[in-house]
Amino acid sequence: MSAQQQISTTQGTPEDRQRVDALQRLTRRLHVRNNIASAILAIATGLGALLFFVIIIKLLVDGVPYIINPNFYGADGTGVVGPQIFNTLYLLVFSEIILIPIALSAAIYLVEYARQGPLVTIIHFAAETLAGVPSLVLGLFGYLVFSSVLGFGLSRLSGILTLLCLNFPVALRLFEDALVSVAREQREGGLALGSSKWHMIRTVVLPSALPGIITGVVLSAGKVIAEAAALIFTVGSANPSNVYTLNPMISTDNLTIHIWFLKTVARSVRIRMFTRSIYDQY
């Protein structure tokens, strides 16, 4: 900037002055363009942010009155979501109980045992593909395999197994990251002490990777809470009288299915408001 000013203040030949003028025009044009571009970027961000905030505010305004209303959480009747909350937690807990050991084992294999080669490539490609399968398609698969062929019917068990397929690639990815992040010196230290590989993994790698593993569990839990499409054909959309049991063979719904279901058979908007409000905090 100061260099340019210096040039412009120096007296020179007409060509020099012309060149300086052209340079100044160019600089000005570039600055105008820069400002316009910045303004457009800022406005776009503002619009996007506005969209998100409007949605959040709308949810809060409509939902909070129900959130703080204790009747909303009752066990029975219309417009209450006690059973749905229980079912959501049930599916969450049991799908994680199955998911964690399986996904962790697979991650340990990939990180600790497998050598780089076609098998690892295939497994990674399979995981990526599975992560991209639409959840509705997983629902069709779950219906076909777990509900019909294996004969579990519309039940919590079918739903849990479908959720396993849904969450496996996500959890595998995060667990792998967690294991990889454990320093090599730590592993080598373990092995140098003469312990077997499995012993070293148990005593050295897993404890160090624990924070990362917990991250993976929590993130996959978020997916379970939000899932509906994969569950509609596998756990169904209705509840027996008593849902507060651990019976895995009964058909239930969960919060997200409940919202979808109410949209089709609900008699009043009020009930929908009730259910939706749960997600304000989510």
Partner 1 sequence: MAANSVNAEAVKDTRSKRTRRSRFSDQVAHGVFLVCAILIVAIIFGIFIFLGFNGLRMFQDPAAKNFFTSTNWAPTDDVPSYGALGFILGSVVTTLLSTIIVTPLAFAMALYMTEMAPRWVNTLLRPVLEVFTGMPSVVIGFLGLIVLVPWLTKLAAPIAPSAANAGVGWGAATVILVIMILPTVVSVSIDALNAVPESVREASLALGSTRWQMMKNAVLPAASAGLATAVVLGMTRAIGEALAVGMVLQGDTHLPDGPFSLGWFFQPNINITNAILNYFSEASGTERNGYFMLGFVLLIISFLFICLSRYIASRSVYK
Partner 2 sequence: MLTKWRIAIILTALAMLSVLMAACGSDTGGTTASSTPAATTASTSNMACEKGNLGTGGSTALGPLVQAAAKAYQDKCSGANITTQLTGSGAGLKGAHEGSLQVGNSDSFVNLTKNPEYKDLTDNQVAVVVFAVVINKDVTGVTNLTSAQIKDIYTGKTTNWKAVGGPDLQISVISRPDGSGTRNTFEKYVLGGTKESVSGASHSTAKTSGDVATNVAKKSGAIAYDTVDFAKKNNLTVVKIDGKDAIADNVKTNDYKFWNIEHMYTKGAATGLAKSFIDYVKGTDGASLRQQFGFLDLSAISSDAIAAKTPKPKHG
Residues 121-150, interacting with partner 1 (CB under 8 A): 122-123, 125-138, 140-141, 144-145
What tokens appear for 213 in the block? 């593993």
Instruction: Give the nearer residue to partner 2 in terms of CB position, either 204 or 228.
Output: 228
Q: Is 256 exposed, middle or buried (0-12, 13-18, 19+ CB in 10 A)?
A: buried
Q: Is the dihedral of CA 14, 16, 19, 23 positive or negative?
A: negative
With CB under 8 A as the contact rule, the residue among 3, 13, 70, 132 that binds partner 2 is 70
Determine if 64 is a binding residue for partner 1 (CB under 8 A). Answer: no
Determine if 54 is a binding residue for partner 2 (CB under 8 A). Answer: no
Residues 68-97, interacting with partner 1 (CB under 8 A): none
| N residues, the chain | 282
Residues 235-264, interacting with partner 2 (CB under 8 A): 236-242, 244-245, 247, 249-252, 261, 264
* CA distance readout (Å), 176 to 5, 102, 114, 169, 191: 57, 13, 12, 10, 20
What tokens appear for 229 in the block? 């499409």
Q: Are 271 and 258 in contact (CB under 8 A)?
A: no
Choosing among partner 1, partner 2, none, which partner's interface includes residue 238 (Cβ < 5 to 8 Å by kind)?
partner 2
Q: Tell me which residues touch partner 2 (CB under 8 A).
A: 70, 73-76, 82, 85-86, 88-89, 92, 143, 147-148, 151, 153-155, 215, 218-219, 221-222, 225, 236-242, 244-245, 247, 249-252, 261, 264-267, 281-282
